[in-house]
Structure 1
């Protein structure tokens, strides 16, 4: 009898163990190893090919001064002035400039009123478009220079300002070396000379061309300063919400 009870107890225990085991969750399976995806930077640096073509403000995108980016292709160099030309500010800015020129009667030959404003406007807009393409696109492609702006991002205000203004005369080439900014000088000079073809006689000639050339260099230097400090402004004022072309 005792032997029978022991056998029955063992059988019952075995059945209970199997029942409990069937109610327990399966052992966790190891998660499949996720495939490592390495993001290859675009040839022009960063994700410039994914940036919007139409923007509110011109291309103020920057790279870091320590970055060693792949050389730009010709199409990437031409995309910089294209984005600038298609920005909202590129449409609004010539309108204000044209209005100021009309009010001050800078070129009486162009007249006043809606027709006069139109004559001022297309000339002012063409000034900006030609200078953008020649400085940031055409001549960088011809001279093998890098049209991207490499920001310091750190340092004192005056040091960074001096660095930014100097970029009107210093630029990187496609090999990553700093060289004289031939693209800026030749581009601004060409744009100033080209304007003689569509401005009235009083706004043409060597002296006016030289003045226009100097203003182009000065405005471009200020643009470099804007690019230097734009990341700070975007981060502190807009909390990084505004995106630009480059």
Structure 2
């Protein structure tokens, strides 16, 4: 509405002023410069720190609880064979308690690879019909499987847990990793007769030699009477030590095979 001389009426003017007062704060707020978005760029120091932290977290997740507790690396040989109790380039090596020694033994005895391996040994015994009193058939195969599993399991517990705990010896295998092939091969075999103590000293490996001898003696309980002979016990004792020697050689040279054949620098 307007008056006759063309000027706005007082009512319209007051309404206009009131609307201006109401909208002024909102307009002022809308005209304030927006805060700059947070920078997505990182300094080299912060980026390196984040990368290092992420790498450490990845390594921590990759290693099992047993590996962290024992300072070992179960870097499976040819990606399938168990490699428990192996120390490969570790900077901090924790001391093994009795409980940890038994954990290492249990992991090796009941590893998934053990079952088909024992099955193969039982099949060889079945093919050779040894021992003869067990005969043939699935029942005989089961007896041979059980006996082979017991031989392996008792031997592992004796050399990795029982005697190392009693004698305070360290059952882990410490890779040499450097030097000529012959020197490293000799070192691996020598670990059958030389070991570390819990205090870090070296001495004769009683756990390996005596432990396997005791395991061979215990095997008389579940082997048939025809196998309870001195020659069979010596053969079992020698086979257990031989397998441990082969295992040491594979543990020593597997990292070289892993790097050169599988192109993997780390486990």
Which aligned pairs between 1:95-106 and structure 2 lie closer than 5 A? 95-106=119-130
Quote the Cα distance in structure 2 between the aligned partners of 1:63 and 1:136.
14
The answer to whether the Cα contact below 8 Å between 1:57 and 1:88 also exists between their aligned partners in 2 is no
Q: How many residues align?
A: 219
Using the alignment, how far apart are the partners of 1:217 and 1:86 within structure 2?
20
Whose radius of gyration is greater, 1 or 2? Answer: 2
Change (3 A) 1:230 1:204: same
Gaps of 5+ in 2: 1-32, 61-66
Q: Which structure's relative contact order is higher, taking Cα pairs within 8 Å and 6+ residues apart?
A: 1
Question: Shift of residue 70 of structure 1?
Answer: 2.5
Gaps (5+ residues) in structure 1?
Answer: 1-21
CA distance in 2, matches of 1:127, 1:136: 14
What's the offset of the Cα at 1:60? 4.8
1:181-231 CA-partner distances (Å, limit 9, x unpaired): 111012101110011111111211222212211221121111111111122
What is the CA distance between 1:152 and its match in structure 2?
0.8
With the length of structure 2 as denominator, give the TM-score of the two structures.
Answer: 0.70
Match of 2:71 among 20, 24, 45: 45
Picking from 112, 115, 137, the partner of 2:139 is 115
* Alignment partner of 2:148 out of 119, 124, 149: 124
* Deviation >6 Å, runs of 4+: 26-41
Corresponding residue of 1:182: 206
The alpha-carbon distance between structure 1 residues 76 and 236, as it changes in their structure 2 partners (threshold 3 A), is farther
Coordinate RMSD, CA, aligned: 3.5
